[in-house]
Amino acid sequence: MTGQILRGLAVLIAIAGVIDPSINSMRRTQHPVAIVSSDAPADAQLADRIAREFASDFAVVRGPLAGAAAVVVAGDRLPNDIATFPASTPAFAVTHLSEVPAAHITAVRAPAAATIQSRVPLTAIVRVERGKGRSVEVSLQHAGLTIDRVTQSLTTDDERVSVNLTFVPTAEGPMPLSISAGFEDRSIRERADVLVNVDRREWTVLAFDRRPSWLSTFVRRALEDDSRFVVTSRVVTSRSVSTDTGQPPGSLDELPSLALFDAVVIGAPEELTDRDVAGLEAFLRRRGGAVCLLLDQQVPGPYERLLGVGAWATAGTSTPASIDVTGGDPVRLLATELAWPVQLPPGSSTLATSVPTAGDTSVSRPIVWSAPAGSGRIIASGALDAWRFRDSAPSAFDRFWRTLIADAAAASPRLVEIQLDQPLLATGEATGAGIVVRDASLAEPGTATTLKGTVSVVLETPSGLVPVRAWPDGAPGHFRATFNAPDSPGTYRLGVTGNGTRVDTPVVVTSTAVARPTPDERDLIAAWTSSRGGITVPSTRLLEVRDALDRALHSTQEHTTWYPMRSAWWIVVFALALGVEWWMRRRRGLV
Amino acid sequence: MPAWPDAPLVVAFLTRVTRRRVGIAAAQGAAAGFAVALVMLSVGWLGRTSLVAAIGAGATLAAAGLTMHVVMTVRRGRSAAALVELRAPECRNVVVTASQIIERPSHVRDYIGARVCRDAAATIARLDVARLLPVKRTAAAFGVAMSCWIAGVLLLGGRPSAMSGLTLIPGATIDIVHVDAVVTPPAYSGRSAQTLRDPARLTTLAGSRVQLTISAAAETIAFETITGRQTLRPTAARTFSGELIADADGFIALEPLGADGQRGMRRLIGLSVDDDQPPRVRVTAPGKDLFLPDPKRAIDLAIEADDDIGLSSLVVRYTRVAGSGENFTFTDGEVPLDITRTSGQAWTATGVLRLAALELAPGDMIVYRAVATDARPGASPTESDSWVVEIIAPGAVAMEGFAVDDEQDRYALSQQMVIIKTEQLIARKATLSSDAFVDQAQNLAAEQRRVRAEFVFMMGGELAEAGVDIEQLHEEEEAAGEHDLAAGRLANQGRADLIRAIRSMSLAATSLVAAELPTALADEKAALAALQRAFARSRYILRTLTERERLDLSRRLTGELAALVRDSRPAATPVDNPRVAELRRSLAGLAAIAGADRLAPADARRIAAAAQDLLRIDPASDALAQVAARLTDAATALAADRLRDARPSLDRATLDLAAVVRAELLDAPRRRATPDAAQLEGLLGDALRRRVR
């Protein structure tokens, strides 16, 4: 009986296979979705979790997939392989959100070097999770001593706070600093180490007036009284008559002598000649310097070529208007006569704006602004009579101009620039250094002369000079070197000789591990997903991504035809049935 | 009480014993209280701030001792009968027995009770209560304790204690125990003296006397202020005295010294001196210059004055200026005032300046001002603004120099005001009588002359110095100026325009005196136009130049054109702000101490010295004074080996000092863009600009 059944089953399968019946049904479309993450274990875990959650709704692939209908990034860092996805692929991201209170220093912004005559501003970006209603305390330590401390209240469960700290240097040399962040009850602390090299660098500034100008005179005096500046000046008082301080260049069109200065401050710019303007343009583009134009009246002239302003607007007030620095310290100028461009040139940024007074319907106007010009920057001031209001109580005339010119001068590249990836290292740790030879880097392209940049790099150690190999790095004048920190803790110097000019920078090696910020690329991820029509959500809102994927991929119920007999598994069943039936017959003695 | 015949005798006896015993206990308790009070007075725990406090403390302790001992005796002591039995064993317990059965007569039969009481009465009849409970010793102890306490109060009451212990063990720690400061403000202020114990900072009125009484275990004390240092020697056992007159911000540093040169912990007291501000006085009515045609008028005056401590006098003084040419007479006088003293610090006054009594003639002038003084000896009186009452006369000129405003706009405004008033007067001419019209025109002439006089004053008086009548323009000087201008040596035309303005004002004034208003108006407008040209932004009159930019007069108008050379000067060499340098040095020193892994008591001296250095850098700075106070706290805690208290104070002081230094400095430039980023930004800017074009 059993044998007959098995034989019948085999016959039925064979008949059904010949008939090949079909079944029609409505089924959800399963688009292929790639889930990618960085190599960090936490990111990988999150990616696995997302893959599990989405497996029932999509054809999930863990990793980059050519032809994926959508990509989901897991974690707070952009994986390298996202570049493999075309721009048309919708992108989504799920970032971490801790289940318990946590604080992470995601970035520290600090100048690599600062002069001892100034205070060093540092900004710590701290991401605090599950801290709503509590306070985060960020402090700055040097040599085990707390130098600055800031406490900030938290209003949400996933908050990123930007905290400004200040280091007051008391001596020259490399200063290892430590920033720690945590909750006010000190239950959780996270640390990040930075190095600031404190030196006594002076910025060279040329003040050049084609006619005497009150504004330029008082700005120059403010700079001359600050030991961070070395001011050279020329004030043309009459035809062929000038008053010089120091050794100013013969004219502004001599780039070799003008290139000695980090910044050039121009008073009465309307008096500049075409040759002057050409010289300043060369200074901006081939030196990468900063030019500050101090207008004390708005009249046309060749100088407008530098600014690229189409039209100017002016205003006069009976009471002095406040001109406040944008997004910085509360530093202000006062002026009654103002001039500003009707439309700022493209790429420019506002440094100080006029503050509308009570009853004034006007908006804030860009009175002091800057625009890039080649590698340099040009700064224009339309506070025409700001020199009249120099009383330190309501105004901060000296402070304003010193800070502005210092920022501009410090941004001017030196003959050889070194930028260490990490100046503070643990013993044996590897790091890289970018080297830029200015003259080769900023040389005018297309010139017939051959650009030549020669660089030699050494690490100065107590046991002698250790050569470091540097390789050209793409653009002319750009080089890159990598080296390992020595095995002994201490302060070393990385010396670079570029085209005959030698500069060096300190490298501090510690015996303990160096704490570094935990990068948080959520903004970048959010921008990336947004540019591709997707969203970025924390891991607690994972379902929102699934809904968004549904909308983006138009997941619908579709009419599908199923051919059950086309499964290869029927062969197994068919063979098994016949085999068992044959075996039973042999057992009974039948053939 | 039972009806046994002898029971009352027994009860009366026991009552007498009880009373005597309570009296003795009270005396003993009080004696103990006085003894405790004496000890506390000696060690300075109680009663050293004032005599009253000393007496109060002693009386309180004696009363407390009395009460406590009596209560304890009554509650916990033996019964009177037991005490009698103890002191007189021959009683053989019959007194105790009698006492107990008298208390509970129902427990015994009457005949037994009567018998026991009879035996007890017989026994106590042989006893003397005074011998049983002698008071001699107790009275002596009480007397001695009270006498000693009284003596202690008389000797020590209200005086600072010498030290925490009664004796100084040789080789013990050199230390200042307490500093008592009595700040006595100057007598004129009327403020009472202030007594402070261990102050961290003294805030005094300038001229106050600061008396310090220092209790210290030391041989001498180094008494240092910002102006000098002296050595204090003990005036009594372990007591030192020093005093100073507080006349400027500073500090008081007290350092105990031992015989072997050993130095104790320095005590630092910040000294903040508030100056006595001069009175402020102002004439609120009429509060302006008056130019009157009528020499008989009475002018109502109102004056307000105030002072931070107190006013002592308020008067209005005037000077009568009469005459002309070079024959002027000056007569001083005072206007009677009716003063209302709102408070000691604020007065108001009214008065009447009667011109008739002064017999003023046309052209004469009264200059008056209010004068107030406060009570500070030797203080200069404060005067209000001076105001002028002038009896106008044609051709006269108001004396310049009383109220010159340095805002250049004012000149133009003043001239504009003259023009407006002239136009208004022309418009109202039809409604005025002839005399009134002339009168008002002459008033305007006086105003015009005053405006003109201020310009003459502003020009540095060079016309007057040249011996020229300022009514007339000096043609030669003007010609010299013209030549100057023609030669192109002056940077602007302002001076010439100003001279033209002055000339037009003179003509306008002359026309106004003659009541020729249309002519005057034309000259006034010409003057205004010249003023506006003179004060154009690019043509300010360069009257004041700094030394570095001062014109080289020897080169002006002389030399040959071909010999012109550049004026070359050495570059400025600024020095670092010395205050910041000092503060930074202090911060570095403090950081070196605070940054150490462990603090040691020996660091206390360095911390105290750092605090003193801070006060020396800027005695007037409240922020530094606060840091110094924290450092002093840290040093004190460290010296007492209280490391746990020292560390927070030291850390906080370092943090605060860093904040003070930070406020003095400018931000270093923030992290700059990489060369690549700067190049990229420039290329982007160029591309965008090309696109816009």
Q: Averaged over A371-383, what is the pLDDT?
A: 93
pLDDT digits (tens, 9 = 90+) for A512-526: 899 998 888 888 899
Joined tokens for residue B388: 């002028």
Chain A hits for B680, CB-CB cut-off 8 Å, are none
Please state the separation of Cα B531 from the chain's center in Å: 47
Chain A hits for B547, CB-CB cut-off 8 Å, are none
Whether ipTM exceeds 0.85 = no
Give the pLDDT score at B458.
65
Joined tokens for residue A245: 């301080």
Amino acid symbol at A485: A
- The percentage of chain A sitting over the pLDDT mark of 70, rounded to a whole number, equals 96
CA distance A258 to A261: 6
Q: In whole numbers, what is the pLDDT of chain B averaged over residues?
A: 79
Point out the least confidently predicted range of A79-83, A381-385, B629-633.
A79-83
**Which H or E run contains A325?**
strand A312-325
| CATH superfamily to which A416-510 belongs | Macroglobulin (MG2) domain (2.60.40.1930)
Instruction: With cut-offs at 50, 70 and 90, classify the pLDDT of residue B211.
Output: very high
SS3 B243: strand
pLDDT digits (tens, 9 = 90+) for A277-289: 999 999 999 899 9
Chain B hits for A345, CB-CB cut-off 8 Å, are 685, 689, 692
* Nearest residue, CB atoms, B675 vs list A225, A375, A385: A375
Question: Is the per-residue pLDDT at A419 higher than 50?
Answer: yes
A346 and B689 within 8 Å at the Cβ level: the answer is yes
pLDDT digits (tens, 9 = 90+) for B282-301: 999 888 888 888 888 899 99
Closest C-alpha among A433, A507, A441 to residue A471: A433
B688 and A347 within 8 Å at the Cβ level: the answer is yes
Contact B358, B320 (CB under 8 A): yes
For an interface test with A, give the residue of B556, B569, B666 to mutate (most A CBs within 10 A): B666
Tell me which chain A residue has its CA closest to the CA of residue B564.
A241
Q: What is the CATH number of domain A102-199?
A: 2.60.40.10
* Nearest residue, CB atoms, B568 vs list A244, A296, A372: A244
Closest C-alpha among A236, A244, A250, A208 to residue B567: A244
* Nearest residue, CB atoms, A243 vs list B567, B651, B668: B567
CA distance B231 to B238: 14
* Nearest residue, CB atoms, B689 vs list A217, A240, A308: A308
Joined tokens for residue A184: 């006010």
For the entire predicted model, the pTM comes to 0.64
In angstroms, how far is the first alpha carbon of chain B from the final one?
A: 129
B591 and A407 within 8 Å at the Cβ level: the answer is no
Top pLDDT among B279 and A81 is at B279
List Cβ neighbours of A543 (8 Å cut-off, separation of 6 or more). none
Question: Is the per-residue pLDDT at A468 higher than 60?
Answer: yes
pLDDT digits (tens, 9 = 90+) for A344-363: 998 899 999 988 766 666 67
Instruction: With cut-offs at 50, 70 and 90, classify the pLDDT of residue B622.
Output: confident
A557 forms bridges with which residues in the sheet? A28
Joined tokens for residue B451: 């405006």
pLDDT digits (tens, 9 = 90+) for B589-615: 888 888 887 888 778 888 988 988 898
DSSP A122-161: EEEEEEEES-TTSEEEEEEEETTEEEEEEEEE--SSEEEE
Tell me which chain B residue has its CA closest to the CA of residue A196.
B671
- The percentage of chain B sitting over the pLDDT mark of 70, rounded to a whole number, equals 81
Task: Compute the nearest-CA separation of A248 from chain B (Å).
Answer: 10
DSSP B364: -
Q: Averaged over A9-29, what is the pLDDT?
A: 87
* Nearest residue, CB atoms, B670 vs list A121, A347, A385: A121
Give the pLDDT score at B545.
35
* Nearest residue, CB atoms, A119 vs list B576, B665, B689: B665
Tell me which chain B residue has its CA closest to the CA of residue A145.
B595
A148 and B676 within 8 Å at the Cβ level: the answer is no
Tell me which chain A residue has its CA closest to the CA of residue B594.
A145
Give the pLDDT score at A105.
92
Q: Averaged over B670-683, what is the pLDDT?
A: 81
Was domain A203-410 assigned CATH 3.40.50.880?
yes
Tell me which chain A residue has its CA closest to the CA of residue B661.
A168
Pairing of strands A70-74, A91-95: parallel
**Alpha helices, H only, A393-454:** 397-410, 438-441
List Cβ neighbours of B516 (8 Å cut-off, separation of 6 or more). none
Residue in the structure block whose two tokens are 């923030």: B670
Question: Is the per-residue pLDDT at B515 higher than 90?
Answer: no
Closest C-alpha among A369, A383, A378 to residue A411: A378
pLDDT digits (tens, 9 = 90+) for A256-278: 899 999 999 999 999 999 999 99
DSSP A163-178: EEEEE---SSEEEEEE
Closest C-alpha among A126, A179, A122 to residue A154: A126
CA distances from B13 to B81, B118, B131 (A): 9, 13, 14
CA distance B505 to B528: 9
Joined tokens for residue B595: 């940054």
Question: Is the per-residue pLDDT at A446 higher than 60?
Answer: yes
A407 and B670 within 8 Å at the Cβ level: the answer is yes
Point out the least confidently predicted range of A245-249, A424-428, A447-451.
A447-451
Give the pLDDT score at A491.
94
Q: Averaged over A120-148, what is the pLDDT?
A: 90
Give the pLDDT score at A492.
95
Determine if residue A63 is left, alpha or beta; phi over 0 gives left, psi from -120 to 50 gives alpha, anything else beta: left
- The percentage of chain A sitting over the pLDDT mark of 90, rounded to a whole number, equals 54
Give the pLDDT score at B50.
63
Q: Averaged over A406-421, what is the pLDDT?
A: 92
CA distance B246 to B639: 29
Give the pLDDT score at A371.
93
Give the pLDDT score at B263.
81
CB neighbours (10 Å) of residue B264? 22
Task: Compute the nearest-CA separation of B603 from chain A (Å).
Answer: 16
Give the pLDDT score at B77.
65
Q: In whole numbers, what is the pLDDT of chain A averaged over residues?
A: 89
